[in-house]
Structure 1
Amino acid sequence: MIQLKLAFICTEKLPSPAIRGGAIQIMLDGIIPYFQNHQVTIFSITDPKLSNQETDGFIQYIRFPRENYEMDVANALKNQSFDLIHVFNRPNTVHLYKAASPTSKFVLSLHNDMFSELKMTKEESLRALKHVDAITTVSQYIKRTVTYRYPQYSHKIYVLYSGVDLTKFTSIHEKQGQVLQRTLRQRHKLSGKQVVLFIGRLNKTKGPHLLIKALEELIPKYPHICLVIVGGKWFSENTVDDYVHSLYTLAENHRDHIYFTNYIPSDEIPLYMTMADLFVCSSQWHEPLARVHYEAMAAGLPIITTDRGGNAEVIAHKHNGYVISDYDNPQAFSQAIDYLLSNRNKAKQFGLAGRKIVEEHFQFHHVAERLENIYVTSLNS
């Protein structure tokens, strides 16, 4: 493939690289090494820990303050010539960037239901759909949110599942993983515990309150169970709002069985995965498809998830995990956790199956290859 000048435009939420987490930033960090044959410019917001501009090999980072981010990016595009511009999760800015770089091809990635009538008018949506040459979605579910409203543009939409860097994850079924698991549990005073892991933002849509309530039925049967809750109110923020306070209050009766870590940097997540016996995603909203599923599979963990949104597209019930349809019922989670803790061979089979799925389909080199094919199609359209 010929060398291309590519621009990636992150949202105004978080900086790139993923020093403060974020699914978009983590995916970018993972796939960019496979674009070394191209010239890559990444636009993101500024951060006190990062310079406003820097070059790292074939990658140029340009960062602007959040306050005027979109206009600053648009002005920067006028001064450079890009073959293809990839906009992440902000369809309502595409027309602005297209006006700044009219000869460039455009790819839009959707990580949420961004074409919802609550976010964009029909006129704004049609404008964005007209300007883009391709759209990638993180799941079939997110693709359907667009094709249901605008079926005439279905030919532009590709499902692009995310992935992981397997070199950062140690399977709990390998000797090295088992040694690491014991070491980590000793460090966190969890030796001899049955560790149930939750990772996510602490808000009601993620459902950690249901897991705390589920413990009430599990503790009598599993007196050494411990629910490890990893995450803060918002990515790198550990503010205690009303909901977080309610979690702490709810946990008071089970303080020996619940461990809050607060926000953990994304590069430490693999360690917490290795420390666990099983992973639970208790999403209550229509989750686009949480990337923690890929990470838990990479660690060889059996997974419990809800059938909300796109989660069940990568977790097959009783193959590499356990899918809950009664998603707002604490008892459904206690039954699923009990099933995995009392069926260790099944749990191991689920974990091994998940690891194999990641090895074969969801590594970052798979994602990069699929994305590059979409670029080729867009350039030839």
Structure 2
Amino acid sequence: MARAKIAFVTPGTFPLPSQKSSSVERVVEKLVPLLIPRVDASIYGRSSRLLGKRGMLGGVSVFRYPAQNKRLYLKRIGQSIKANPPDLLQVENRPRYALKLRRMRPESKIWLNLHSSTFIRKSAISPEQLVRSFRAADRIIVNSEYLKEDVASRVPECADKLHVVYPGVDTERFQSQHSLAGASLRAGLRKERGWTGRSVIVFMGRLLAIKGVHHLLKLMPKLVREHPTALLVIVGGAFYGSKRTTAYVRQLHRMGRKLKGHVQFVPYVPYSEVPSWFLGADVAVVPSGKREAFGLVNVEAMSSGLPVVATRAGGMKEIIEDGVTGYLVDPDHVVQEMRERLLELLRDERLRLQMGLKSRERVEQHFTWQHSADQWMELFQNEIQL
């Protein structure tokens, strides 16, 4: 029996593979190869001077096209698909693409995979066009129950199309600090970075107001007075793959300068270096606003054996077990509650250890990329049987 042909269409923002990609491309890069050999998969994405027009990624064919002009990008993808029709076409995080490809390929089976609410808000797409885009999709995959509810509230008539497939983490790359190998590497990292004897709190992500980094800088003065060895390490920039700044980033740096010796800014780092920043830390913080659909940094930190203190918002409530793998705080009282929870963890090494071990255990049981691939395949197999 021939394997089903599945084509995955990325937004065209970053090429694959890439160390500078957003979480959308990262999910595609990690999940799709795990569907091989159960399906014959291909990926459509942005071209790059460093990569050929066609390549392979873990047994998956990758087709690359210039994407500066999105209309031409989709046109070229449509032509390729016409020449080699897939059994299923999955569009990643761009509802408009699903609608446009449906017009090009009215007979195709099309799925839409939403990674966030960014491109379904009124600022990105009109309510009328959103409805048409959802109607164009046969199935709509979302990455959390939170996002499922959000999407269903916007277009109730398409609620029965919605299915949750959780993203995952590479547990081999994000090794636990509680393993022998992880503990050894962690000791070297902390010595190299001058973190010996410090209580290190790490934030990893883009420096955007919605990510709540300013809350961390507001809570630090009092936290430092009560726990003088505390060090907040902020890893990331305002843009993927760039060290450009914004007014918000400059504001954060001004706040940080008042806490000399207790705040460290680390500009954007390539994804290959991300695991080391979690491995060397003691606690991870995710003070995001209410629209955080999932947040890969949560499972990456948990895989590294860290307790995570995050806002009780969006899909993070589905990842972090409050009081077990970390703490969830009220998004309307982040400064006070997050400071209290951090202080509790920094003062109690046994509690940190216990929660860190539970974090790793939860990831292994629920949030690996293999779990994601199996959930996707189950959904696809159910589709075939309909």
Task: Place the TM-score, normalised by the shorter chain, in its bin.
Answer: over 0.9
Residue 22, structure 1, aligned to residue 22, structure 2: yes
- Paired letter, 2:23: A
Of 53, 60, 81, the match for 1:77: 81
User: Given that residues 77 and 100 in structure 1 are in contact (C-alpha distance below 8 angstroms), is that contact kept between their aligned partners in structure 2?
Assistant: no
Q: Structure 1, unaligned stretches of length 5 or more? A: none
Shift in Å, 1:2:
4.9
Structure-to-structure mapping, 1:282-297, within 5 angstroms: 282-297=287-302
> Per-residue displacement from partner, 1:237-265 (whole Å, max 9, x unpaired)?
11122111111111112121111111111
Q: Determine if the alignment matches structure 1 residue 6 to structure 2 residue 10.
A: no
State the shift of 1:115 in Å: 3.1
Tell me which moved more, 122-131 or 156-165: 122-131
Identity %: 29
Q: Shift of the alpha carbon at 1:285?
A: 4.0
Indicate conservation of the 8 Å contact 2:33/2:58, yes or no.
no
Number of residue pairs matched?
381
Give the superposition deviation at 1:377.
Answer: 2.5
For structure 1, which segment, 16-25 or 209-218, has the greater mean C-alpha deviation from structure 2 after superposition?
16-25
Give the TM-score taking structure 1 as reference length.
0.95
Q: Report the secondary structure of 1:256's partner residue.
A: coil
> Secondary structure, in 3 states, of the residue corresponding to 1:6?
strand
The 1:325/1:102 distance shift into structure 2, 3 A limit, reads same
Q: Which residue of structure 2 aligns with residue 105 of structure 1?
A: 109
Assess if the C-alpha contact under 8 Å between 1:170 and 1:299 holds in 2.
yes
User: Counterpart amino acid of 2:300?
Assistant: E
- Aligned partner of 1:251 in structure 2 is 256
Q: Please report how far the alpha carbon of residue 232 of structure 1 lies from its aligned counterpart in structure 2 after TM superposition.
A: 1.0
Matching residue of 2:212? 207
Partner of 2:90: 86
After superposing the two structures, state which structure 1 stretch, 217-226 or 146-155, moved more.
Answer: 146-155
Letter in 2 for 1:53: R
Please report the TM-score for the alignment, with normalisation by the length of structure 2: 0.93
Asked if 1:50 corresponds to 2:51, the answer is: yes
Alignment RMSD (CA, Å): 1.8
Deviation (angstroms), 1:326? 4.1
Task: Give a deviation string over 1:148-197, Cα, whole Å, max 9, x none.
Answer: 23333222111111101111122122232222111011221222211100
The alpha-carbon distance between structure 1 residues 204 and 149, as it changes in their structure 2 partners (threshold 3 A), is closer
Unaligned runs of 5+ in 2: none
Match for 1:104: what amino acid? Answer: S
User: Does the Cα contact within 8 Å between 1:206 and 1:281 map onto a contact in 2?
Assistant: yes
* Residues 1:365 and 2:365 are matched in the alignment: no
* 3-state SS of paired residue (2:314): coil
Residue 40 of structure 1 is matched in structure 2 by 41
Distance in 1 (alpha carbons) for counterparts of 2:149 and 2:167: 17
Q: How does 1:1-381 map to 2 (within 5 A)?
A: 2-37=2-37, 38-56=39-57, 58-68=59-69, 69-113=73-117, 114-327=119-332, 329-381=334-386
Q: Is contact 2:7-2:42 (8 Å) kept?
A: yes
CA shift, 1:29, in A, is: 2.1
Which SS does the other structure have where 2:91 is aligned? strand
Structure 1 residues 319-328 or 352-361, which shifts more?
319-328
Distance 1:175 1:57, change over 3 A: closer
Q: 1:315 to 1:57 in 2, by over 3 A?
A: closer
Deviations 1:12-32 (A, max 9, x none): 322222421321222222222
Give 1:23's aligned amino acid.
Answer: S
Q: For residues 326 and 88 of structure 1, do their structure 2 counterparts lie closer, same or farther at Cα, with a shift above 3 Å needed?
A: closer
Deviation at 1:327, TM superposition (A): 4.2
Match of 2:158, SS state, is: helix
Q: Is the 8 A contact 2:311 2:334 kept in 1?
A: no
Shift of 1:79: 2.1
